[in-house]
Chains A and B, each alone.
Chain A
Amino acid sequence: MMADKKTLKEMSQDVLVIPFSDELAESLDSFCSQQAEDITIERFGELTISFLNRENDEELEEAFETFCKEEGVDDNLSKTAIMPVLAEHIVLKSVEGAESSEERALYSLMLKNALILAVKGNGFVAYPEAISETFSTYYHFIMDERTFGKEDDNNAVTRSLLDSEVETLTDKINEADGEVLKAIAYDAALYRYQQMVDGIKIDSENLVQSIYEMVEKLVTEAPWKYIDRDPAETIKKILGEAVDTELKLDEVIDSLYEEKEEDDLLTTSILMRLIGGDDSDIVLSRDVRFGAAELAEYMYYEMLTEAIVKELEETEE
């Protein structure tokens, strides 16, 4: 489902009595395309939170007013009603039109993380069908670009490397197919990851603390952050019988308050921010409940997203 004037018109049906006309939808779609171009990670997060909270983003509102004046668009529309829709459309366009597959995966993760506000709270989403179409973006990124395997060749090259002398190893590596080498490294990383996972134990007496430590380990101590293609299964396996234990959000926050002192969290890392004492723009009842696996999955992806952003920033430097 492309984020185009048709989806924008569909979105407007949720917030206006008479939805956008075709002409207006086209004009506003063009405005949203402009906003999505060269969007930054920070801006993406701000717009995501603004539409979920159904609040007018000031910068977006100003840009909209300027656009209306320049293009002669009737700006006599209820801004309270349409700003969140435009913000949501820009977010979708940003995911779709990201410059690289890595950026696309990152934006989709940020969006998914923030959706806790809609799933567990009263966060607003005008077009859930279009939003849900972005969910598999990260998985496809992992499968298409972060998975390696050429089994027959792996064995032959592995044998060759293990049989060679240390002095000639570099030459062997240079001769080998890059894809095969990556596959071998991937297999090794996977093995190490499995060993690490098998060694994680859950203390059911301190379940929240245990979940936090488990997730932190899975993300920060994994041999490679993209190694786990099915974190849900990993989490369920580690939690065992505790998988469905119900936990309240205020219990989670109280147990982990200021566990992680991070100033620079993404606006979309809702749980991490709450744990760190930052609840600005977070509209979520403290009575909200999670299953243990559910909580772990939310935390895992928030931490993973933070790790990916950190790596991207280090690469840019």
Chain B
Amino acid sequence: MAAEIVNKPTDVLTGKSGTMTAEQTVQPTNEQTEVEMPKKPTVITDDPSALYCDALNELNINQIADGKAIVRVVLVGFEEYGKSTFAGSLYYNFFTKESFCDHVLYDSETYSGFERRILIRRMDIAPDIKSKRTIKGENPLLVMSLMSEPTGKYKLVISDRSGEDYSQFSGTLEEIADNQLLKVADHVIFFVDSVKMTENFGKLRYSYKNFLNELVNKDLLGKNAQVKVVFNKYDQGKAHQEYSEKKKQAEAMFSEVLGTDRKYDVFEIDSTGASDRFASVENLTKSFLLGTDVTISKKKKLLDWVNNELNG
């Protein structure tokens, strides 16, 4: 575009006046608007997400290990089932309260990742915002540094992938490599959208069954993982007449695919906290926070060779 000539106001100090050339803003070209998908960084120094505490991924998550105990929680579910809302609510409760479930949040390497989840949690309140929820391929791993009196300090790592990662899951080698955390998770939480369950149980059943079969067949569920099935949006779901019946059928589906050897706990929650002031969120959270030192006392017993000898 041609430069425009504009009048420059009189310089107050020198009394001089003159003209200046103002250049029009150059319109960006198509090349400049192309956004490069960032490669997953392998070292923290190359990792821009480290600069502003964004979520991490499976290639750089080990850098948060500092010798303290680690609890790994994987949130599983399809699009808009409420995983990120739950993660946001969890963070919100820890951040705004002195303690939550008797545990205190004292630090996080992924504050921004959590803040983003709080932002998108509000999307139901501001439905005119069209931007997507957790994006496919976005870093999914969130970290909280927690402490409690019986357990001391420890790290809580939460995997919150986009629902599309799961709805499009087909068990390829790349997907398996990207889901290493699922194999070693301490807790795997399957989210079920109670509203979708009552409105279109057949579709939910079909999608979840296929997905669960992939997980089981590819041996992606660690044998020591504590499995939970969470009926999210239960406050809305239970308003439907068929809620209880559909819930039973959903549980039966999980039992069928996971097998009778695999026990799981069932929770009903409102991950927004709007209907119950986070009572159900708190209940679910208590189930995966580091408990009293059951593991530590088991370890000590095994190592207590003196008392084992004395007691024959």
Does chain A have a CB within 8 A of B306?
yes
Report whether B302 and A18 are in contact in the complex, using a CB–CB cutoff of 8 Å: no
Interface segment out of the listed A74-82, A150-158, A179-187, A272-280? A74-82
- Give the residue of A81, A112, A118 whose beta carbon is less than 8 angstroms from that of B65: A81
Report whether B62 and A78 are in contact in the complex, using a CB–CB cutoff of 8 Å: yes
Give B274 Cβ to nearest chain A Cβ, in Å: 32
Report whether A118 and B300 are in contact in the complex, using a CB–CB cutoff of 8 Å: yes
Interface size class of A (residues with CB under 8 A): 20 to 34
Report whether A293 and B310 are in contact in the complex, using a CB–CB cutoff of 8 Å: yes
Chain B residue numbers with a CB within 8 Å of A15 are: 65, 67, 70
Does chain B have a CB within 8 A of A294?
yes
Does chain A have a CB within 8 A of B66?
yes
State the CA gap A82–B181 with chains docked (Å): 18
Q: Tell me how many residue pairs across A and B have CB atoms closer than 8 Å.
A: 83
Report whether B42 and A132 are in contact in the complex, using a CB–CB cutoff of 8 Å: no
State the CA gap A125–B306 with chains docked (Å): 17
Report whether B184 and A132 are in contact in the complex, using a CB–CB cutoff of 8 Å: no
Report whether B302 and A132 are in contact in the complex, using a CB–CB cutoff of 8 Å: yes
Report whether A125 and B303 are in contact in the complex, using a CB–CB cutoff of 8 Å: yes
| B159 (CB) vs chain A CBs: closest residue | A17
Chain B interface mostly helix, strand, loop or mixed? helix
Does chain B have a CB within 8 A of A131?
yes
Report whether A294 and B306 are in contact in the complex, using a CB–CB cutoff of 8 Å: yes
Does chain A have a CB within 8 A of B244?
no
Report whether A17 and B72 are in contact in the complex, using a CB–CB cutoff of 8 Å: yes
| A19 (CB) vs chain B CBs: closest residue | B184
Chain B residue numbers with a CB within 8 Å of A297 are: 306, 309-310
Does chain B have a CB within 8 A of A54?
yes
Does chain B have a CB within 8 A of A236?
yes
Give A86 Cβ to nearest chain B Cβ, in Å: 13
Chain B residue numbers with a CB within 8 Å of A16 are: 62, 65, 70
- 11 example contacts (A-B, Cβ-Cβ < 8 A) are as follows A17-B65, A17-B70, A17-B72, A17-B155, A17-B181, A54-B67, A76-B63, A81-B65, A118-B300, A132-B302, A232-B310
Residues of A within 8 A of B (CB): 13, 15-19, 54, 74, 76-78, 80-82, 84, 112, 115, 118-119, 124-125, 128-129, 131-132, 135, 232, 235-236, 291, 293-294, 297-298
